[in-house]
Structure 1
Amino acid sequence: MIPANANVSHPSSAAARPRVAVVSHSHPSLSKGGAEISAYALFRGLRQIGVDAIYIGACATSTRHRLAFADENEFAVFHDAERYDHFYHLAPGSVTDQLVEILAREGVGLVNFHHFYHLGLGALRAVKAMPGMRTYLTIHEFLAICQNHGQMITRQARILCESASNEACATCFPEHLRSQFAMRRDTMLDSFGDFDGFVSPSRFLADRFTDWGLDAARMSVIENGLLAPAEPMRGPKRDKSWTFGFFGQINPFKGVDVLLDAADLIAADKALAGTMRLRIHGNLIGQGPEFTDRFEKSLKAHPFLTYAGAYDNRSVHRLMSECDYVVIPSKWWENSPVVIQEAFGAGAPVICTGIGGMAEKVPDGVAGLHFRLGDAADLLRALRLAADPNNAAVLRAGLPPVISAAEMARRYCEAFGWREERALPPLEAAE
């Protein structure tokens, strides 16, 4: 792992290379989602290794007053959230005009999109049509494939969807015709199907998209890097209690309800309740009154369960270092959650649902433990295993290194076809 502040070799022939724009659907000062954090880390990493890069984020006009740039290399396009088509993902032409104007004015020759949301597919087409422009798309979730918030979960039964089809999607959304879902897919593929290349942080997500229609020969898998990876701050364990932390948005897909179910099971065993601590960090969003009421009642009923509230991403390393484990009970496939890399960087093994990108990134019994989807009793089994000093030592020893933003940027440069003066680690490419 190369520290973010290390002296690194610059890409050869850098002066002849085009200026790069990393474009995302938001800015980290407005939204702390994994896609925005990863895109911003890439932007910073590119600049660290000598690539002339800018960052462009989409910003709702209503939140413009909260937008905060770090320097002159950051820009925004502004959109009206009420004038966006969420089915075909079309935005007003003014959004496209703003983006094209920034790219032309700033002399950008390569654009790496990290989302199309808020920008609209028309913006992707327009940028792709700019003379001499090279375009790449980094995929962070399934929104292009799945209309249900990109979660690949059935709308009514809330079970995992293995693959999309016009018939299955129309069953989830009976207000739309099957022909509309066929048109939606065609529109998506027409908008970015002939990009110069695609990047996915996980093999799982890459395979889903190549099965759906993207060209496997143009797909690369590059792990998310951390903007400022640091050495674990964890000292020797001095007590017999075990702290399990949840970090992220507390929304219907992140599985906090499974954690609350596990808390009820822990409470039934007084000895266990005396040794376990469950700590929840994050914003409480997207939940109805039924969940909110239960959440508040659980906090009052279980002294070992605490809600630490929202957190600044700059403090995540310290907060995770206070936990013995990080728990990710997500009820959707996930891709490559940044929280996994953050946990590994803090020296905390991960206990996660054993599906999708989570299972890929956290080898069971090596860097963490898996449990069955939505199964609180199986989560408790994993927590019991984790609360054993011998098991904890094995799992901590199995933590993989995390890569820095600069190293991620170097791997992106190879995906762009740019060779560096020093040899790069081999890039995993889709077969």
Structure 2
Amino acid sequence: MRILQVHKYYSKKRGGGSVTAFFEIIKILEKNGHTVSVFSMKDSENEKSEYERYFTKHLDFNEKNNVWEKIKMVGKVIFNREAQKKIEKIIQAEKPEIAHLHNFYHYLSPSIIFSLKKNKIPMIMTLHDYKLICPNYKLFSQGKICENCRGGRYYHCFLKKCVKNSYSFSLVAMLEAYLHKFLKTYERVDLFIAPSKFMKEKCVEFGISPEKIKILKNPFDTKNFGLNKEEENYFLYYGRLSEEKGISDLIKAVAKIHQENFLEKDKLLIVGKGPEEKNLKKLVQKLKMERKISFLGFKQGEDLKKIIASSKFTVLPSVWYDNLPLTILESQLLKKPVIVSDLGGSKELMIENETGFIFQGGNIDDLGEKIKKMLNLNFLEREKMGEKARKNISEVNDEKNLYSQLLKIYKEVINNYKRKEKK
């Protein structure tokens, strides 16, 4: 089968979980004999690709541009004509039987959907985030979960400065959402894939037909996670340091249990970087927790795996609707119990009290109690949880099963498209 995979990033250093899934899908498809072409944006950190000549020019929203350049960039965010033309060229050259869309907005824009439709290419789209129903893609604004745009009331995005706390960025996101609602752009996509049951349910709540969404977890390479390290006296948060991740709640919970004389030997390590880093460090200083909470900066690859493998457990304290966090997958593959928020799709990867604990998202006291509960377990009890976690996640991420389901979806979409064309 000839398959076109589309993502705004073709760099393994960018984009988090959606990029990981994107590259893993390409690898699995090629391994099973399919011809995979790629459409993306040029970037100095991109992987090498024979299809790079079709990629669009690099866009950098952080560059200092003059007014005219900024206006042109806004136009590309909403409807990128270059992306339309470039994707038509790769369609003509590679003649894909189906296109699989991932995160493409802002850099490639939804304009590519019109080109695919014009050329009669069936489309599926994986919902890696909430962009389909929320202009800022998070369903999170001003420090809390927000569903004000339900029913197409996208003006709330502007009024609440939902994008980067900026009226100008939020205005662009609002206009983009209204335009593509008016054009019925996403109605041209034949099928959506939701990596979590929660994602499907939330999209259905916002008016998307349940028949247009199938649940299929993102594939994840479970190899190279056989590292065994001796447990050390720390537990771990790792990931992006941003408001929706709930790290400030975690710091406050740790400070609270420390006041109860519960952290004699143990400490919290925080690994990652992001916009909240300075504020989080100030919070640690304010609470006088420097001896019990340490920031290690950004880590990746084997260095990160060693830190995870040596921890007692990891914590994902999100205060937003996480979809399918890589943090849980990686931790469990390294035989680590996990404490997760009950918000979003995270709990779908858990077996309560067997692979870790689930706390009420946003409830600092409950988070603290779950940390205490985990620390109260002895090494063998945590080890048993970790073994169960690895077994569970390995079964959930069985490559053959996921490939079989994905191929079935591709074939169904292609056949349904052909039937519609004949009518």
* TM-score range normalised by the length of the shorter chain: 0.7 to 0.9
- Measure, in 2, the Cα distance between the counterparts of 1:173 and 1:115: 22
Q: How does 1:19-58 map to 2 (within 5 A)?
A: 19-58=2-41
Aligned partner of 1:161 in structure 2 is: 146
Matches within 5 A, 1:345-384: 345-384=333-372
Please give the alpha-carbon distance, in whole angstroms, between the structure 1 residues aligned to 2:202 and 2:280: 32
**Number of equivalent positions:** 384
Task: State the Cα distance separating 1:166 from its structure 2 match.
Answer: 4.9
Aligned equivalents of 1:326, 1:96: Cα separation in 2: 43
1:265-414 equivalences under 5 Å are 265-270=256-261, 272-283=262-273, 285-287=274-276, 290-294=279-283, 297=285, 301-313=289-301, 315-387=303-375, 388-389=377-378, 391-393=381-383, 395-399=385-389, 400-402=392-394, 403=397, 407-414=401-408
Q: Displacement of 1:84 after TM fit?
A: 4.3
Identify if the C-alpha distance between structure 1 residues 90 and 313 changes in structure 2 by more than 3 Å, giving closer, same or farther: farther
Q: What is residue 155 of structure 2 aligned with on the other side?
A: 170
1:261 paired to 2:252: yes
Change in CA separation of 1:313 and 1:51 when aligned onto 2, cut-off 3 Å: farther
**C-alpha distance in 1 between matches for 2:385 and 2:281:** 34
CA distance in 1, matches of 2:259, 2:91: 60
Pick from 152, 172, 191: which aligns with 2:139? 152
How has the CA–CA distance of structure 1 residues 415 and 268 changed in structure 2, closer, same or farther, with 3 Å as cutoff?
Answer: same
Q: Matched residue of 2:28: which SS?
A: helix
Match of 2:205 in 1: 211
- Which residue matches 1:197? 191
| RMSD of aligned Cα (Å) | 3.2
Question: Does the C-alpha gap of structure 1 residues 301 and 396 become closer, same or farther in structure 2, counting only changes over 3 Å?
Answer: closer
CA distance, structure 1, for counterparts of residue 152 and residue 40 of structure 2: 35
CA offset at residue 278 of structure 1?
1.3
Residue 214 (structure 2) aligns with = 220
Equivalent residue letter for 1:54:
S
Q: Distance in 2 between matches of 1:393 and 1:65?
A: 42
Q: Spell out the pairing of 1:171-190 with structure 2 (5 A cutoff).
A: 171=156, 173-174=158-159, 183-184=178-179, 186-187=181-182, 190=184
Distance 2:22 2:268 in 1: 31
Q: Is the 8 A contact 2:222 2:333 kept in 1?
A: no
2:57 is matched by which residue type in structure 1? F
- In 2, Cα distance between the equivalents of 1:312 and 1:49? 29
Cα shift at 1:229:
2.6
1:385 deviates by 0.9
**CA–CA distance in 1 between the matches of 2:192 and 2:246?**
29
What one-letter code is carried by the residue in structure 2 that aligns with 1:31?
A: R
CA distance in 1, matches of 2:403, 2:74: 33
Structure with bigger helix share is: 2
The answer for the alignment partner of 2:411 in structure 1 is 417
1:168 shift after superposition: 6.1
Amino acid at match of 2:41: A
Amino acid at match of 1:152: L
- Which structure has more relative contact order (CA 8 Å, sep 6+)? It is 1
Shift of 1:21: 1.7
1:255-294 per-position Cα deviation (integer Å, ceiling 9, x unaligned): 1111221232243244x322323121212x2238544533
| 1: CA distance, partners of 2:153 / 2:306 | 44
Alpha carbons of 1:418 and 1:47: their partners in 2 closer, same or farther (altered >3 Å)? farther
Alignment of 1:117-136 (within 5 A): 117=105, 118-131=107-120, 133-136=121-124
Gaps spanning 5+ residues in structure 1: where? 1-16, 420-431
TM-score by length of 1: 0.78
Instruction: Decide whether the 8 Å contact of 1:112 with 1:137 is kept in 2.
Output: yes
Q: CA deviation at 1:169?
A: 4.6
- SS of structure 1 residue aligned to 2:130: coil
Match of 2:79 in 1: 91
* Superposed displacement of residue 354, structure 1: 1.1
Match of 1:249 in 2: 240
Q: Secondary structure at the match of 2:144?
A: coil
Distance 1:116 1:341 in 2: 24
The answer to whether structure 1 residue 233 and structure 2 residue 220 are counterparts is: no
Distance 1:397 1:171 in 2: 46
Identity %: 17
Gapped regions of structure 2 (runs ≥ 5): 62-69, 160-166, 414-423
Quick one: distance in 2 between partners of 1:290 and 1:300?
Answer: 14
- Contact conserved, 2:216 with 2:402, CA < 8 A, in 1? yes
The corresponding residue for 2:44 is 65
**How big is the shift at 1:202?**
0.2
State the secondary structure of the residue aligned to 2:57: strand
- Please tell me whether the aligned partners of residues 169 and 181 of structure 1 are also in contact (alpha carbons under 8 angstroms): no
Q: Contact 1:259/1:376 (CA < 8 Å) preserved in 2? A: yes
